[in-house]
Structure 1
Amino acid sequence: MRLALFGGTGRTGRLLVAQALDDGHQVAAFVRSPERLPITHPDLTKVPMGDPGPRALSAGMKGADAVVSVLNGSTRAGSPAATWTRAALSAMAECGVRRLVVTSAAPVPLRGGPAPLAYRLVGWVFRDAHRDLAAMEDIVRGSDVAWTIVRPPRLTNGPRTGRYRLETGGNVPRGLSLSRADLAGAVLHLIDDPAVAGRGVGIAY
């Protein structure tokens, strides 16, 4: 599978790139600073992220089977999650790519009801990032692609175990943490799962 990846220089993104390559996928990683992705591999292409416009992204996205975003959110930093997701969707339409998997965060309020109290407190502390992620979720939900929004809780630097729980349509009950390595592995798994297309998926231990 050929993946177009946004956020590959982040802590989760680097793990996702490494796992995808280990699993035999081809990866086109859209990055602002290629040196921040210290991975070299014949199946890895580093695509410079310049202008967030569809034409600027289309060349690196051609031939992709799916687009994945693990971008962090921040309204103070120009809302990268919402801005680049909107641009990616436009490029996907131009290139004929239909599958999109993005990561958000469990404390971002779910549609149809308030978040649990613990998540609301966390959401207030990280409200800048979560505003951007909430806007990104709205953009994704309003699109016509086969999207999946993955919503993890607090992320750790623990190992990849594969022993996580998934909750389609909501957050995992009493799920308080997840390793970035397991998040990366779950994202790769969910790309191939048609049952989660058009759904949000909670993930946690």
Structure 2
Amino acid sequence: MPPLLASSYAAMVSTGKLIDPGIAARVFVSPRKRAQTTYGLLFGFDVSHSQVVAEKVTVTEETADWNYGDYEGLLTSEIQDYRRAKGLDSDCDWDIWRDGCEGEESVQEVTNRLDHLITKINDIHRSCIMHGEAPADVVLLAHGHILRTFVKRWLRIPMADQFSIMMPSGAIGILSYDDHMINKPALLVGLAPQSEKGIAN
């Protein structure tokens, strides 16, 4: 991980910062090495010894990236050629959001595991007073594709529906609820600076 990225993480993680370990209700971490490394850059050390109380950290396959199987490392065009050679996709080209990964995780299986995780997160938030009176931040440390998939499911968008999302490596995205209501999931776009007391927004 480049030092610049590591120092950028350090600037975002602290009391009162974008990621405040003190108000993290739960941290879900993919078991893959990249996510573990990112955890260390964010919170220090490992999932057992860090700024976040160990009991609040869950390492789970629910946040692991898609299981690509034979498609691992292939470009979309290479996967499409591979499938055509096997007599698949005669009427349209392969699309992971619609077709999943042959012989591995189906779209429905990925949907199920993410929906299960979202239910857990909703339950964590439901037990809080949804106006910031109780620590309620939930942090997911995972991989680009599964995080983009998570956004779709958070917003209750069917997997096959077109919804283009870009998420570069090391990026931070924020999901929330409209009107502080669990049944109104939302994508927070843009962060406004905190206003000084007495200054109108």
Quickly name the TM-score band, shorter chain normalised.
0.3 to 0.5
Which structure shows the bigger proportion of residues in strand conformation? 1
